[in-house]
Amino acid sequence: MLQSGEPPLDAVGLQQVFDLLNSKELREMGVQLKQVADNPEIAKAGDSVRLSDVAAALTGAAGQLAAYLNQPYAPATLQNISMMPTALRETVRELAPEAAAKMDEICPAYAPFPTPAKPDALPSTEPQRRAFLVKTLDAYEDREKKIGEFTHGRGHITRAYIYANAMCNILEEEGVEVDRNAVLCGITGHDLGREGGGADEWEEESARMTTQAMRDAFGQDAMGAQYETSVGNCIQRGMTETMEAMLLKSADSLDIGRTVDFEEKYFPFLGDKDPNREPREPDKYTVSSSRATELRRQLMEEAKILQALTDPRSRWRNASIRLMGQLYEGNAQQNIVAREQWQQLEKDIVQEYKDDWTLDSDAYVQQVEDIVLKSPDLFPVLSKYYRKN
């Protein structure tokens, strides 16, 4: 069609058109408009078909030109609907007001994170953020020694920090802005106030202790009240809907496999909230991008491996569950043997945690980092995206 126009386009002209359609902006626009139009709830809006038509026009024309020019064209994005750029949201509102209203209701844009009072006083490099992690881990080790609570100790915080760091880098590679200090300092301190395992009843105290640790490390007036409140809200469930809060929750939830089976539908990273959930059910998420689905699953698999390699409770979890199941299955003597075996296993698990106390916090973090960075075959995503320097 372009070649038969007035004037007809030659090979150079066709290449120019394809380059425009294959630009990052238009490539992602087509994919994201299709994500919106394909969302089951948004699709109920009568004008959502307009979004489908525009998306099909963008990707269809680019695909035809790519085939004609014998060039690759793979429209894909990791960004979910809530990450949609403001300008594209405005385009959706102009094209399909009814669909846009539903989009804003169920997939609202992430709230912007406030700017700190003195940005230059906060960390600007990964070694500075890692130093905050190392210093804070000493408090977790002290708690391990005091009350014997290892599930939310140095291992969990170090792994969650690695996950958070990698996910920040993944989003930044996609052009998404993230406040790394809020995410990485927040995940470092998010369990500081815990006094035991199980349901987290100490989030508010953890938030207070985290922001206090940041004030002590970076200056009493470095953050400012609004920024400090926002960091604290990231730690407390349901208090804020920022990208940073989503990343903190994602990093924390990735490590949950050390205690319970991880369920993909409750993993926030790159997902949009599913409005169809049962009463009292946690937030669950749907993913409309095959690329995002693949990346999420790879992260979950790598987190499971890292837990097995660095956390005694994860490593021996199946054996412990099996022995617990045998406590009342046999005769009296068999039950006694099973109980003795289970109790010994529990003692061995605790001892493995204690053995790590021979390492100071810097050496402990280095040990976990080495496992990730020196094993790209086991950790293709984490080893690529985790940055320590």
Per domain, the residue ranges of the chain are 11-106, 119-315+359-385
Q: What is the pLDDT of residues 244-302, one digit of tens each?
A: 999 999 999 999 877 778 888 889 999 998 888 887 788 889 887 888 999 999 999 99
Query: For position 7, what pLDDT does the model report?
Result: 55
* Alpha helix stretches (DSSP H) within 70-153: 86-95, 97-106, 126-147
Report how many helices (DSSP H) and strands (DSSP E) the chain contains, helices first.
Answer: 17, 2
Q: Are 106 and 272 in contact (CB under 8 A)?
A: yes
Per-residue pLDDT at 6 exceeds 80: no
Per-residue pLDDT at 4 exceeds 80: no
Both tokens of residue 61?
A: 């024309």
Q: What is the pLDDT of residues 362-377, one digit of tens each?
A: 999 999 999 999 999 9
* Alpha helix stretches (DSSP H) within 39-125: 48-69, 86-95, 97-106
Rounded to two decimals, what is the model's pTM?
Answer: 0.91
Q: What is the pLDDT of residues 202-235, one digit of tens each?
A: 999 999 999 999 999 999 999 999 999 999 999 9
Q: What percent of the chain has pLDDT over 70?
A: 98
Which range of 62-71, 84-93, 196-205, 212-221 scores highest in mean pLDDT? It is 212-221
Length of the chain: 389
Nearest to 185 by CA among 256, 241, 149, 135: 135
Helix axes 225-235, 243-254, angle to 10 degrees: 30
When the pLDDT of each residue in the chain is averaged and rounded to a whole number, the result is 92
> Among 30-34, 319-323, 350-354, which stretch is predicted with the lowest mean pLDDT?
319-323
Instruction: Report the C-alpha gap between 210 and 232 in whole angstroms.
Output: 7
Q: For 343, what's the count of Cα atoms within 13 Å in the CB-facing half-sphere?
A: 7
